[in-house]
Amino acid sequence: MASRPRFGRLARFDDTAILLTSLGPLETPNYRILLVEDYEPLRLSYARTFKEAGYDVIDAGTLADARALIADGRDLHAALLDYRLPDGTATSLVQELLDRRPLCRSAVVTGAIDDETAMESARCGAHAYVHKPETFPNLIATLASTIASTLEWRRTLAQEAPSGETPGTPNLPVPVGMDTKRAMARLAHIAGLSHFETLVAWRLLWGDSNKRIAQLLGCTDRTSKYHVAAVLARTGAKNRNALLKVLLVDAGIEDPWAGKGDPDTADETE
């Protein structure tokens, strides 16, 4: 019986990182990575490692060069972005990649240790946030999780691969279009969410656990759990995995999985 795909759980990318995802093992062939790093020796080292792992890598050292690569229309399955670049920060690229059709999730890498950088990355929609220096196995785990998230959201929003590209999933439903950020802003207004609750709702939409939300937004696990419960109560979502359905219904978009079996609604809280 067909069932609604679950959102993968995000790994914490530290020295004990374990890839936690409900999508199972990923095959790397045909997955294209955008690598943006201004320090050339490090960029070349990253690129060599990712290519040896089987990924197709395109790289750039500035925002301008990255945008030129994005504009050529090739499909991108994940992006690894240095936060601070000569002509700006990675946050704008994260948002531009989310606005692509099909979308692409990003991981932000930085040498900064301040919480504000992590929070800014979370606010703009980054899938993961990694501190330099990082081990190559953890970077590979970061890429695998980011690709998993990209493919999951493409399935969720029924976004097809570009013409001439190999689609990530065959027999996708009819594509639907939705401005997620605008839908979230509308939901926050209607449900009366506070600014902090809106941030929590945004992270729930990306499938983050309570612990991950607490880490990204700089609060305790207890505070995170409280605000998650408040968001679900105010929006009318039965559980965290139902939040997207609330947005789809509000936007007048038919649920792609309606009538295709009971969705997996296990409540991931850890």
| Residues 58, 104 contacting (CB under 8 angstroms) | no
| Residues 240, 232 contacting (CB under 8 angstroms) | yes
165 versus 65: the higher-pLDDT residue is 65
Helices 221-235/210-217 angle, 10° precision: 110
List all residues 6 or more positions away from 204 whose beta carbon is below 8 Å from its beta carbon: 213, 228, 231, 240, 243
pLDDT of residue 53: 85
pLDDT of residue 176: 44
Distance between CA atoms of residues 180 and 199, nearest Å: 13
Put simply, whether the predicted model's pTM sits higher than 0.75 gets the answer no
User: Is it true that domain 32-156 has CATH number 3.40.640.10?
Assistant: no
Q: Is the pLDDT of residue 1 over 60?
A: no
Least confident of 11-15, 75-79, 127-131: 11-15
Mean pLDDT of 49-53: 88
Of 100, 95, 99, give the one whose Cα is nearest residue 108.
95
**How many CA atoms within 13 Å lie on the side-chain side of 51?**
10
Q: Is the dihedral of CA 98, 176, 73, 34 positive or negative?
A: positive
**Per-residue pLDDT reduced to its tens digit, 23-32:** 333 444 579 9
E-assigned strand segments in the chain: 32-36, 56-60, 78-82, 84-85, 88-89, 106-110, 128-131
What CATH code is assigned to 180-251?
1.10.10.10
Measured in residues, the chain has a length of 270
pLDDT of residue 265: 42
Q: Where are the domains of the chain?
A: 32-156, 180-251
